[in-house]
Amino acid sequence: MFWDKKMETLKRGDLQELQLKRLKKTLNQVQKVEFYRKLLKDAGVKNSSIKTLDDITKIPFTKKQDLRNGYPFGFFAVPLKDVVRIHTTSGTTGKPTVVGYTRKDLETWSDLIGRNMTMVGITRNDVFQNMVNYGMFTGGLGFHYGAEKIGMTVIPSATGNTKRQIEMINDFGVTTIHCTPSYAMHLSEVAEEMGTELKSLKTGLFGAEPWSESIRTTLEKRLGVIAYDSYGLSELFGPGVAFECKERDGLHIWHDSYLVEIIDPETGEQVSNGERGELVVTPLVKEAMPLLRYRTGDVTLLMEDGCLCRRGKKIARITGRSDDMLVIRGINVFPSQIEHVLLKIPEVGNQFMVYIDRINHLDEMTVEVEINREFFSGELSDLARLQKKVVKELRDTLELRTTVRLVEPGTLPRFEGKAKRVIDRRGAI
């Protein structure tokens, strides 16, 4: 049964009771890890110190670097003979992070993926092509076993050979695909070149990288699918932490399995309701590698209660990394928020630069953005109106006054790879 209705629509009080029970169990489980014994001892936290869910703030965070320092098996709470699988996450520097799973962990994980897929109406009658890396990346085997568990017909096509992927979709009558949004875009282009329509497709599950609403619209149009956003990370099993329901307005967290907080990445304090910050997750059901207050580095916010599907509280789509956060006049600003605002105004393009200066001891932010000729006539009076509109939209979202400069198309720097759109000149002489 994968529409776990009782579990997914628990009343707040019942859910909190379950979470607290599972948090206490997790606290026992982490005692088997030397890092946590020391961490909790140094912080003066005993199991008896955690009486309510709010007491979790007494526990220090676990950071990615801690996991790296524990390479390879320092975070395992069970003997290696009980670990039936290992995944690693690629590190750009140094050693990768190792994650381990007991047999029960693998069961729990595929149940969560099964719940994701059931939530959006996928059943055993669907044919599923999993177009992601099947190696150490958790999106491959993770989705594979989740899909098998609900009885779908699974095609483990992995990545590469896009023409062959397209042939399989058509020949096998594939209804559901899972891949990164950028690969989906590539797939749609190759299909177009081949002059073929992917008629059988109905559902696209996309994740592993941030993507926008405009990419959703494009993918849905070009592939003929309803596109859903998937969120997870290997340290928390992999995909299956949060997923969109049919409303496609935010991602439901599986609160019975993950306790979430949103914090200010500077101070580590929990932010107020609805405010954007870094997602911190305490998994409540892991055996091999339990974690406490894991800092994901991903930026999101907790949405208002109440979704038509009656499942629990949602997070907004991930809009960036907390490492990118700027503090301007005491206000936290994520470059992704600026991008988000600009993308909503068709008269400006998606090419922009942000400059931060300190003038008379005050932080000043200037946003330069290219005009989009397709939507903008070029009258001088319109220019002033557009400039005011951008200033207002930015102020409404950031709660910060910015200077906006509209510039000609093609004048701002283009980036290969990761864009460096923010230039902070406050430290400069």
| Buried-state track 376-410, b at ≥16 Cβ within 10 A, e below 16 | beeeeeeeeebbeebeebbeeebebebebebbeee
Shortest Cβ 5–Zn ion spacing (Å): 13
Instruction: Verify binding: residue 187, Zn ion, rule CB under 5 A.
Output: no
| Separation of alpha carbons 253 and 316, rounded Å | 10
State which residue, 247 or 379, has the beta carbon closest to Zn ion. 247
Task: Kindly report the number of other CB atoms within 10 A of residue 59's CB atom.
Answer: 20
The H or E element that residue 66 is part of is helix 64-69
- Establish if 120 lies at the interface with Zn ion (CB under 5 A): no
The site map against Zn ion for 188-207 (x = CB under 5 A) is --------------------
403 strand-pairing partners: 366
Q: Note whether 307 binds Zn ion by CB under 5 A.
A: yes
Nearby residues of 132 by Cβ (< 8 Å), 6 or more positions away: 139, 140, 143, 158, 159, 178, 179, 180, 183, 208
Minimum gap (Å) between residue 223 Cβ and Zn ion: 23
> For residues 109 and 243, which CB has a smaller minimum distance to Zn ion in the complex?
243
The tokens describing 347, both together, are 């008269």
Among the listed ranges 26-34, 57-65, 163-171, 241-249, the one in contact with Zn ion (CB under 5 A) is 241-249
Sheet with 153-155, strands from edge to edge, namely 153-155, 127-130, 176-179, 203-207, 226-233, 238-244, 251-253, 314-315
CB of 228 to Zn ion, least distance (A): 11
Stretch that binds Zn ion, among 167-175, 238-246, 263-271, 382-390 (CB under 5 A): 238-246
In the complex, what is the shortest distance from the CB of residue 119 to Zn ion, in angstroms, rounded to a whole number? 8
Position 177 contacts Zn ion (CB under 5 A)? no
Part of the chain binding Zn ion (CB under 5 A), chosen from 18-26, 55-63, 306-314, 387-395: 306-314
Q: Which residues pair with 404 in a beta bridge?
A: 367
Contact region with Zn ion (CB under 5 A), list: 40-48, 146-154, 175-183, 247-255: 247-255
Q: Site for Zn ion (CB under 5 A): which residue of 245, 253, 259, 369?
A: 245
CB 332 within 8 A of CB 325: yes
CB of 245 to Zn ion, least distance (A): 3
Q: Is the peptide bond before 346 cis (omega within 30 degrees of 0)?
A: no
33 binds Zn ion (CB under 5 A): no
Tell me if 309 contacts Zn ion by CB under 5 A.
yes
Considering the complex, state which of residue 78 and residue 245 has its C-beta at the smaller distance from Zn ion: 245
158 is a contact residue toward Zn ion (CB under 5 A): no
Check: CB of residue 257 under 8 Å from CB of residue 317: no
CA neighbor of 16 nearest in space, from 59, 49, 52: 52
Whether the Cβ atoms of residue 219 and residue 185 lie closer than 8 Å to each other: yes
Per rule CB under 5 A, is residue 7 in the interface with Zn ion? no
Query: Measured from the CB of residue 226, what is the shortest distance to Zn ion in angstroms?
Result: 14
Q: Which residues bind Zn ion (CB under 5 A)?
A: 245, 247, 307, 309, 311
